[in-house]
Structures are given as C-alpha cells and as structure tokens.
C-alpha cells in the first residue's frame, strides 16, 4: 500500500504533536520544581523527568522519524511551510542526536549531573581544584562530540550553533572587538567621573507583598496577558512558555533592595511577551517558541532596559511605585530615581552587573570558551586567565575562584557556547530599537502615556509571531535591513552613560 505525501505529512504532524506534548509536560514539571514543589518530591520527580526525557529522545531518533525525514524531504515544494520548517528542525535534531554513540551519551548525562553537584561544592569552598577534573572531562567530551558533529571553520562554531544558529566565531570576534574598543574606555571614564548617582534611598525596607503588587501591576502595564500566564516566586527567576496560552513569569523579592524584583519581573516579562505572541499556527510543533537564546534575550533586555529603565516609563509609573512603597521615595525626585536605577559600576559577578558592564562579563567567557576549544590553553589555567581578563576589561580582580571562574552554573552542565547569546541579545535589542524608532518616532511619548501596545505590536509583527520559523540573523536582516551591527549598542551605551555621568562627549 503506498501512502500519499499528504497522508505522510499528516502522520508526521501527529508525531510532532506528541513530542510537543512531552515537552510541555516536562516544562510544567520544571516550573513546579523551581516554584514550590516540596523538597521530598524531588527524588521521584527526577524519575518522571528521566522517563519523559528519554521517551522524547527516543521519538526524536526513532526509525519512524528517519522515515518521515526521508519520505518528506524530497517533497518540500508540496508541503505547508510550517511542515517544512518543522521537518528541518527535526532533521537537525535527529542528526545531532544520532551522531553521538548511545553509550557515550549516557556517560555524558551521568557526568553532567555529577559535575553540577561538585561545582556547587567547589563554588561554596572557592576551590577550583575540586571542579577542575570534571571540567576537563566536560570539555574533552564536548570536543569529541564536536568531532562527531563536524564543524565549519572553528570547532567552537558547532557549539555556538546550538544556541544561536548562524552566529559564528567570525561574527563574534568582529562585534566583541568593537564592543571592547568602545566600552572598556567608557567604563574607565565613568569610574573616574565625580558625577555619581546617589543611590542611598534604594536600600530601604520595601515589603514583599507590596513589591509583588507593584510587579503584577507593571507586568500588566507592559502588555503581559494574565489569562495566559501567572507570576510566582523562584530563587533563580525565569520565564517559561509551556504554550502561547500559558507563559509563566517568576521573580524574587529582596525587602532591602527592590530593584531585583522590579527589573527581574520586567526582564522575564519581556521573555514572556515573546512566547505569548508566537503565532497560533505553530502550536503543537517544535517551532512554537523563541528562535534562539540571543533573540530571546533581546526581548527581555528590550523591556528591562529600553522600557523599564527609561525616564519616560518612570514619568508615568513613579507615582505608582511611591504608592506601593513605604515612603522611601518621598524625598527623591524622579530624575534622581532614574539616575540611580541606571548606576554603572564594574563588579565581579555577572548576574549582579549593570547594563553597561554586562557585555564585558560575557566577553571574558566567550574568549575563554573559544580558547579552550581551540586548544589555546588548558582548563587548569582558567582561574589565572579569568582573573587577568577581569582586570584588563573591568579593572577588578577576583580574590577567590568563588567570585571568579566558579560563579556560573553553565559549564558544570556542559553548556559551552551559551554565554555569547547574552551579549548578542543586547546587540539585537539595540539594533531593533534603532529600527523601531523609524516606525515609532514618538517612542518616548508612548512610554510616558502608557500606550505600549504599538511597541508590543511592532515586536510581535517582526519577531514574536515567527517562533522558530526564522533564524536569528534572518529576523535581524529582515527587520533592520542589515546584518548584526554592534554599533547601535555602542551608541546607545555611550550616549546614555555619558549623560548620566556627565562625561565629555568623545
């Protein structure tokens, strides 16, 4: 019995619907674990995760999947465009997963979970030597995997590709070079500036409940749909899109410093707006999510920095903030408030750093990863190299590895190639903002009047709706008419921080 292409397409879509269902169930389980699952739930829940993940892995590498790919690929012209992109996505994953020998993959999964707990201990004790043998094994395994997968140009490109498809070492060297050249001297100038913002009023008591009420209000103000989401607390805040009708935000409250909650909420809200506005027609396929780490980060950073830290946003919302707080802003004019929340200061910890210095933190990690995968240095040299680079770019030197090379979780789970996305997100955001201003020249006014719908609409039409239908650089090209260009970020940062710190314009 022969089967028509249309029939095969239908079967394939049913098959990927099933994979999507497993993914959604896993997403809910992870959300739950991070927002309040009881402590004793974890052991057995890990079994559930293991079962569902391995089912998903089996589905992605099955003979059935192979025959869908083989049967449908020659007929792309006859298929719906969503099917074509879905097929390409599945094929990529199939090949990626199939090229690793099963026993090596199993070993790697065990290594990852052991490495994570060793890393935690090592960070706590600030003892790199504990983590070093595991990191060596993780790097070595990933080098082997890169060889299985193959690479073009630089071996590190293959790792980059899994987080930011299409972005290569060549691209990153160029943009990071530009950023380094412009930002490093700017950071130095700021440190020397006598015009520093007064931030003393920040560290006053702001009750959790009130922060929460304000956070909910602000999420609503930026256009987050509460019928398709909710706000919870998590130690490490995140947003997760289970499907476009269920995109959850988390935040964390610190009663002595409200900034984490407010800007964290807006940041995760930016991620959430992306996921809430993916086109309905992608639901049930693997395309129904942000296209890459970097584009995702561009949306969260857009809202955090270009909306949440913008003077016009606070022209509208400062009164509301005052209403929710217990008097800490009463004697603080809005201009002083806005300067304070835009303070920049070189620091050691990436996740606590500000908008201006953040790309430098990322650059350190990029250069180290690239060097590792090009055999330019060994894992044992990392603490020294890390500290040297921090001193060179940021003018600060960690006193121990806990506040240095051991600070991030990423490497312990083998996530090499992930960090650059954070900085790419900044560059994408600034480039998109530059384009947006051509269509919405009254941007500042939209913020000060609270009419943010056109901003959301603009981003939805050009970014959100496509999900994974477009690759990151395709979105940038189609929207801005050019490839990735770091200059927009540099201009934005230079203008903004020169003003805040009253620098002589360069």
> Pattern of binders to a second copy over 222-241, x per CB under 8 A?
---xxxxxx-----------
Instruction: Output the smallest distance, CB 51 to a second copy, in A.
Output: 4
Interaction of residue 39 with a second copy, rule CB under 8 A: yes
Tokens of 289: 């999510």
Interaction of residue 50 with a second copy, rule CB under 8 A: yes
Tokens of 267: 């940041």
Residue count, binding to a second copy (CB under 8 A): 38
Interaction of residue 268 with a second copy, rule CB under 8 A: no
Interaction of residue 36 with a second copy, rule CB under 8 A: yes
The stretch near a second copy (CB under 8 A) out of 16-24, 167-175, 349-357, 360-368 is 16-24
d(CA 206, CA 31): 27
Interaction of residue 172 with a second copy, rule CB under 8 A: no
Tell me, yes or no, if 255 is annotated catalytic: no
User: β-pairing, 239-243 with 246-251?
Assistant: antiparallel
Position among 9, 154, 161, 246 found at the interface with a second copy (CB under 8 A): 246
C-beta closer to a second copy: residue 55 or 120: 55
d(CA 425, CA 474): 14
Count CB neighbours of 59 within 10 A.
16
Instruction: Output the smallest distance, CB 32 to a second copy, in A.
Output: 6
C-beta closer to a second copy: residue 38 or 441: 38
Interaction of residue 42 with a second copy, rule CB under 8 A: yes
Question: Is residue 87 within 8 Å of 54, Cβ to Cβ?
Answer: no
Interaction of residue 200 with a second copy, rule CB under 8 A: no
The string of DSSP letters for 297-358 reads HHHHHIIIIIITT-HHHHHHHHHHHHHHSSSTTTT--HHHHHHHTT-----S-GGG--TTTH
d(CA 474, CA 382): 35
C-beta closer to a second copy: residue 43 or 103: 43
C-beta closer to a second copy: residue 25 or 118: 25
Q: Which of 467, 21, 28 is nearest to 247 (CA)?
A: 28
Interaction of residue 290 with a second copy, rule CB under 8 A: no
Instruction: Output the smallest distance, CB 42 to a second copy, in A.
Output: 7
Instruction: Output the smallest distance, CB 247 to a second copy, in A.
Output: 8
Interaction of residue 283 with a second copy, rule CB under 8 A: yes
**Marked catalytic residue, from 9, 164, 268, 369:** 268
Question: What's CA 335's distance to the chain center, in Å?
Answer: 30
Interaction of residue 315 with a second copy, rule CB under 8 A: no
Interaction of residue 63 with a second copy, rule CB under 8 A: no
Interaction of residue 47 with a second copy, rule CB under 8 A: yes
Instruction: Output the smallest distance, CB 102 to a second copy, in A.
Output: 17
Question: Is residue 45 within 8 Å of 33, Cβ to Cβ?
Answer: yes
Q: What are the beta bridge partners of residue 239?
A: 249
Interaction of residue 109 with a second copy, rule CB under 8 A: no
Interaction of residue 332 with a second copy, rule CB under 8 A: no
Question: Is residue 142 within 8 Å of 379, Cβ to Cβ?
Answer: no
Interaction of residue 243 with a second copy, rule CB under 8 A: yes
C-beta closer to a second copy: residue 138 or 282: 282
C-beta closer to a second copy: residue 57 or 149: 57
Three-state SS across 362-429? HHHHHHHHHHHHCCCCCHHHHHHHHHHHHHHHHCCCCCCHHHCCCCCCHHHHCCCCCCHHHHHHHHHH
d(CA 272, CA 258): 21
Q: Which residues contact 407 (CB under 8 A, 6 or more apart)?
A: 123, 348, 349, 350
458: helix, coil or strand? helix
Which contacts of 24-27 are long-range, i.e. CB under 8 A and separated by 24 or more positions? 24/242, 24/243, 25/52, 26/52, 26/53, 26/56, 27/240, 27/241, 27/242
Interaction of residue 28 with a second copy, rule CB under 8 A: yes
Position among 8, 37, 69, 216 found at the interface with a second copy (CB under 8 A): 37
The stretch near a second copy (CB under 8 A) out of 13-21, 291-299, 410-418, 437-445 is 13-21
C-beta closer to a second copy: residue 48 or 66: 48
C-beta closer to a second copy: residue 52 or 334: 52
**Which residues are at the interface with a second copy (CB under 8 A)?**
17-18, 21-22, 24-25, 28-29, 32, 36-45, 47-48, 50-52, 225-230, 242-246, 248, 283-284
Active site residues: 268
């Amino acid at each position: 019995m022969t089967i028509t292409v249309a029939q095969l397409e239908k079967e394939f879509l049913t098959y990927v619907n099933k994979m999507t269902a497993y993914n959604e169930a896993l997403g809910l389980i992870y959300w739950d674990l991070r927002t309040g699952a009881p402590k004793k739930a974890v052991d057995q829940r890990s079994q559930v995760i293991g079962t569902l993940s391995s089912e998903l892995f089996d589905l992605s590498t099955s003979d059935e999947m192979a025959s869908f790919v083989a049967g449908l690929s020659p007929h792309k012209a006859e298929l719906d465009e969503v099917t074509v992109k879905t097929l390409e996505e599945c094929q990529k994953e199939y090949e990626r997963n199939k090229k690793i020998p099963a026993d090596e993959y199993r070993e790697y999964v065990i290594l990852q979970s052991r490495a994570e707990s060793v890393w935690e201990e090592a960070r706590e004790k600030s003892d790199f030597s504990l983590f070093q043998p595991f990191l060596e094994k993780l790097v070595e395994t990933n080098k082997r995997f890169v060889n299985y997968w193959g690479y073009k140009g630089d071996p590190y490109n293959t790792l980059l590709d899994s987080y930011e498809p299409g972005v290569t070492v060549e691209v990153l060297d160029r943009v990071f070079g530009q950023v380094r050249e412009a930002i490093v001297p700017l950071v130095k100038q700021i440190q020397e500036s006598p015009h520093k913002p007064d931030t003393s009023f920040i560290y006053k008591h702001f009750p959790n409940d009130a922060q929460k009420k304000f956070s909910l209000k602000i999420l609503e103000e930026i256009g987050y749909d509460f019928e398709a989401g909710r706000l919870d607390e998590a130690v490490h805040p995140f947003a997760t899109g289970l499907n476009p009708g269920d995109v959850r935000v988390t935040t964390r409250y610190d009663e002595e410093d409200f900034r984490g909650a407010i800007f964290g909420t807006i940041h995760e809200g930016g991620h959430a707006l992306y996921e809430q506005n993916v086109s309905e027609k992608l639901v049930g396929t693997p395309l129904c999510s942000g296209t890459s780490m970097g584009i995702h980060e561009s949306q969260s950073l857009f809202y955090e920095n270009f909306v949440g830290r913008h003077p016009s946003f606070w022209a509208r919302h400062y009164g509301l903030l005052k209403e929710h707080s217990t008097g800490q802003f009463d004697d603080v004019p809005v201009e002083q408030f806005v300067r304070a929340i835009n303070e920049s200061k070189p620091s050691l910890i990436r996740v606590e750093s500000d908008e201006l210095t953040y790309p430098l933190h990322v650059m350190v990690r990029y250069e180290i990863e690239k060097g590792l995968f090009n055999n330019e240095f060994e894992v044992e040299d990392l603490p020294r190299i890390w500290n040297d680079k921090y001193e060179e770019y940021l003018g600060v030197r960690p006193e121990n590895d806990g506040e240095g090379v051991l600070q991030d979780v990423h490497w312990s789970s083998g996530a090499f190639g992930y960090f650059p996305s954070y900085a790419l997100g900044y560059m994408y955001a600034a480039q998109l903002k530059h384009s947006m201003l051509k269509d919405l020249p009254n941007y500042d006014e939209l913020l000060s009047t609270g009419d943010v719908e056109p901003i959301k609409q603009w981003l939805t039409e050009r970014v959100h709706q496509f999900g994974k239908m477009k690759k990151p650089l395709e979105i940038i090209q189609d929207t801005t008419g050019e490839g990735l260009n770091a200059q927009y970020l540099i201009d934005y940062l230079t203008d903004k921080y020169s003003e805040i710190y009253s620098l002589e314009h360069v």
